[in-house]
Amino acid sequence: MVKSMFAGVAGLRTHQQKMDVIGNNIANVNTWGYKAYSFNFQDSIYSTSIQSSGGATNAGAYGGRNPSQVGYGSSMASISFQYTTGAPSPTDNDLDCMIDGTGLFLVGGMVNGTVTDVKSSGLMLTRVGLFTVDNNGYLVDANKNYVYGYALKEGTGVPEIPETAYTATGDAGKVEVTDNKDGTYAVRILGITITTNRKDLEGQVEKWISEVTKAATYEDDGTTVKTPAGKLSGYSIKKNSINEFAGTVNLTITSKTKGTAGNGAIVETTGADPNQTGKFDQTVLTGWEAEDGQNYVAGIPAEFEENLSPIQIPYDPYTGAQYNLQSYSISDTGVIVGIDIEGRPITMGQLALIAVENPNGLEKTSGYYFNIGENAGDVEFVKPGEGPVGFIKSKFLEMPNVDLANEFSNMITTQRGFQANSKIITVTDEMLQELVNMKR
């Protein structure tokens, strides 16, 4: 009778352990990348009442006998997780990604040099691609761990340099103001005089500048080059007194064609203001200097290193500064490309995926990380799309593979098993009570 009590207690304990696993699965029904665990029972130790023996066939001998054994309940055989891919859940983050396959991401702290052996690196594995870029331009996950992959080879991944405009700038003349002593003022710019009153003096100067900057041309090797409207710069007015009213008008003209804007450069003006004393004609500008633009430079395609290192925004070889990336995209092969402030695609690197021979040999840690256990087998890093590790799905995160219907059915059978074992203890207690009552 005592053995049945022990068996009932062992059954209660084991069913409670299974309920712990079920509870953990249900608690993580919305945890990114979570893998559901399953609890496996085994019968417990046995005591042998009668040993087995073999039979004999000689005269007067007896046949064989099977052993007679009784067990002490059940115990845990193993707890394993189901390594299947969860459903994709769309997100709005450009750097979020999930693995459509068996691979894992490699993340962890900063290491010196590059990673050639994942097992001895001390880094962790994860199925959750919840990534962002930190203040140093490194790709990191939500827990500040660096994300490892294939960095750019030096001198590759340089974007094209688009052609920039050639400019010509110069002093377009002085603004001179004369008091006519009759309530009006003469504003003279480049030999053109505007008569206006003091109240609207500044406004009339602005109107003149507006007209003179509508269009511009200059001579380039004997050919007139038409350019967009000029841009006004360096214009200032002193307002201490009307007699000190003065300023300098600087005009900048641009062109995609290289040329020299010398003494032949002209500014075309059109139209006239009612307050002006005459129509504007062509006005010759002097003292102009041309500034060279930049010709188109083709980019250098990206090539990746063979070993692993943290992925980081690369540096511009022409300026020495990191590219200013405004948005990102990740291809199905894990290549991360950012768009810089000039609209150019900049390759950051390529994500690495880790292939594990025995995923159930991984050891779960806090968060959504795995350590590489002794029984994990061979561990190798490969590029996405190579072998069974799978591809990358950008702007998705992996949902848990918890089957709620299955968990609730397991919960019911576990509860009934717990009740049955508790009943064994109750009945055994009643039998012991009857035995005690026999003495009365």
In this structure, the dihedral spanned by the alpha carbons of residues 426, 428, 434 and 439, taken in order and rounded to 10 degrees, is: -130
**Would you tell me the crossing angle of helices 404-437 and 2-27 to the nearest 10 degrees?**
160
| Residue type at position 198 | R
Supply the pLDDT for residue 231. Answer: 41
Same domain for 274 and 366, yes or no, is no
Residue found by looking up tokens 């063979």 in the block: 306
Assess if residue 56 is contained within a domain: no
Same domain for 126 and 73, yes or no, is no
Same domain for 338 and 385, yes or no, is yes
Query: Which of 237, 262, 291 corresponds to the end of one domain?
Result: 291
Question: CA angle, 59 as apex, 53 and 60 as ends, to 5°?
Answer: 65
**For the chain, how big is the Rg over CA atoms in Å?**
42
| Residue type at position 111 | V
Which is it for strands 266-267 and 283-284: parallel, antiparallel or unpaired? Answer: antiparallel
Same domain for 143 and 95, yes or no, is yes
Assess if residue 61 is contained within a domain: no
Assess if residue 281 is contained within a domain: yes
Supply the pLDDT for residue 188. Answer: 62
Tokens of 192: 């053109």
Residue-level pLDDT, tens digit, the chain, 440 residues: 578 888 889 999 999 999 999 999 999 999 999 999 999 999 888 888 888 888 888 888 888 888 888 888 899 999 998 999 999 999 989 999 999 999 999 999 999 889 999 999 999 999 999 999 999 999 999 999 999 999 999 999 999 888 776 555 554 445 566 667 777 767 665 455 666 665 555 565 555 555 444 444 444 444 444 443 344 333 333 333 333 333 344 444 444 444 333 333 333 333 333 333 322 233 333 344 455 667 788 899 999 999 999 999 999 998 899 999 999 999 999 999 999 998 999 999 999 999 999 999 999 998 899 999 999 999 999 999 988 899 999 999 999 999 999 999 999 999 999 999 999 999 988 888 888 888 66
Same domain for 191 and 279, yes or no, is yes
Number of domains in the chain: 3
Query: Which of 268, 291, 314 corresponds to the end of one domain?
Result: 291
In this structure, the dihedral spanned by the alpha carbons of residues 325, 328, 331 and 337, taken in order and rounded to 10 degrees, is: 0
Q: Compute the distance between CA of residue 253 and CA of residue 267 in angstroms, rounded to an integer.
A: 10
Tokens of 268: 């075309």
Q: Compute the distance between CA of residue 186 and CA of residue 109 in angstroms, rounded to an integer.
A: 73
Q: Compute the distance between CA of residue 81 and CA of residue 359 in angstroms, rounded to an integer.
A: 9
Supply the pLDDT for residue 25. Answer: 96
Q: Compute the distance between CA of residue 55 and CA of residue 175 in angstroms, rounded to an integer.
A: 129
Same domain for 209 and 287, yes or no, is yes
Query: Which of 266, 291, 316 corresponds to the end of one domain?
Result: 291
Supply the pLDDT for residue 63. Answer: 85
- Closest to 260 (Cα-Cα) out of 171, 173, 172, 167: 167
Assess if residue 17 is contained within a domain: yes
Residue found by looking up tokens 């009778």 in the block: 1
Residue 151 burial by CB count (10 A; 0-12/13-18/19+): exposed, middle or buried?
A: buried
Same domain for 316 and 387, yes or no, is yes
Same domain for 366 and 427, yes or no, is no
Taking 3-state DSSP, the helix, strand and coil percentages for the chain, each rounded to the nearest 5, stand at 20, 40, 45
Supply the pLDDT for residue 59. Answer: 82
Count Cα neighbours of 34 within 13 Å in the Cβ-side half-sphere.
17
Given a contact cutoff of 8 angstroms between Cβ atoms, the answer to whether 346 and 337 are in contact is yes
Assess if residue 145 is contained within a domain: yes
Same domain for 260 and 331, yes or no, is no
Same domain for 176 and 198, yes or no, is yes
Task: Supply the range of the domain harboring residue 17.
Answer: 2-48+67-83+402-437
Same domain for 316 and 341, yes or no, is yes
Q: How far separated are the first and last CA of the chain, in Å rounded?
A: 20
Assess if residue 296 is contained within a domain: no
Tell me which H or E stretch contains 8: helix 2-27
Given a contact cutoff of 8 angstroms between Cβ atoms, the answer to whether 401 and 109 are in contact is no
3-state secondary structure of 114: coil
Supply the pLDDT for residue 166. Answer: 58
Residue 352 burial by CB count (10 A; 0-12/13-18/19+): exposed, middle or buried?
A: buried
Provide φ and ψ at 425, rounded to 5°: -65, -40
Same domain for 121 and 184, yes or no, is no
Assess if residue 59 is contained within a domain: no
Given a contact cutoff of 8 angstroms between Cβ atoms, the answer to whether 204 and 212 are in contact is no
| Residue type at position 176 | E
Assess if residue 340 is contained within a domain: yes
